[in-house]
């Protein structure tokens, strides 16, 4: 018997795959939304990266409704995203800003829309921000713009009349550095004891899904840091 159902938006990436597999291990039915399928998911909704925002929304909403067949989910976790740098004088400034907005803002807004339709009362919507975007990001302006928009979306969704189900919560995680294969590839000599394990985030998402009293306040921006192998969550 399934423990429940969750949606992982970005469930093919490193963090998304870890979350998906952890919830599967704990008896959940998991629906993946991404540019490519995750074989571990119970069902996959593929995003066409060539479509515009509203076209992606329509396609994802239709496929999700067809997959869920009227059932509701316990959590919607949006960990889609990416990184690109650049100051205002960079050749690819606007190009990279456009990419960051597509990867972080489009996905977060569509995840919020999914939550208004398919999340159970008392359910959990999780988005992904960035601690760096709490202040100026001159060397990665597009990234900062996109993540600041996610932070604003979070506070708006936590407010009255946002459209989210009754007693639900929206939380945005802001990990400083995740321990992913790609990060290890590009930063092999870094201090890995200061990187946050993917399991730490997966475990907390499960706890916040099943134990509503353990959740931080809805609308919280949660900075996640790791020092000497010990990870800490600090609401901002």
Residues marked active site are found at 143
Degrees (nearest 5) of the Cα angle 77, 130, 93?
Answer: 115
20: Cα within 13 Å, side-chain hemisphere: 27
Greatest extent of the chain over all pairs of C-alpha atoms, in Å? 56
Question: What is the pairing mode between strands 73-78 and 169-175?
Answer: unpaired
Q: Please report which helix (H) or strand (E) contains residue 94, including its range.
A: helix 93-100
Judge contact between 46 and 26, C-beta under 8 A.
no
Residue 129 gets the label, from left (phi > 0), alpha (psi -120 to 50) or beta, of beta
DSSP string, 9-64: ETTTSHHHHHHHHHHHHTTEEEEEEESS--TTSSEEEE--TTS-HHHHHHHHHHHH
């Amino acid at each position: 018997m399934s423990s429940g159902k969750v949606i992982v938006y970005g469930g093919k990436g490193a963090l998304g795959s870890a979350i998906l597999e952890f919830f599967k291990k704990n008896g959940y039915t998991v629906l993946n939304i991404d540019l490519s399928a995750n074989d571990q998911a119970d069902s996959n909704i593929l995003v066409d990266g060539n479509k515009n925002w509203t076209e992606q929304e329509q396609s994802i909403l239709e496929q999700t409704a067809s997959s869920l067949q009227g059932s509701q989910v316990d959590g919607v976790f949006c960990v889609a995203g990416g990184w690109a740098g650049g100051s205002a004088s960079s050749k690819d400034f606007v190009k990279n800003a456009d990419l960051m907005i597509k990867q972080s803002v489009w996905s977060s807004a569509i995840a919020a829309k999914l939550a208004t339709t398919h999340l159970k009362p008392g359910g959990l919507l999780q988005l992904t921000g960035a601690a760096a975007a709490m202040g100026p990001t001159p060397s990665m302006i597009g990234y900062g713009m996109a993540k600041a928009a996610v932070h604003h979306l979070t506070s708006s969704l936590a407010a009255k009349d946002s459209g989210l189900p009754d007693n639900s919560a929206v939380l945005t995680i802001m990990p400083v550095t995740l321990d992913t294969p790609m990060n290890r590839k590009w930063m092999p000599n870094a201090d890995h004891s200061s990187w946050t394990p993917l399991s730490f985030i997966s475990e907390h998402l499960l706890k916040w899904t099943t134990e509503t009293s353990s959740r931080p306040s809805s609308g919280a921006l949660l900075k996640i840091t790791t020092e000497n192998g010990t990870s800490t969550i600090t609401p901002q």
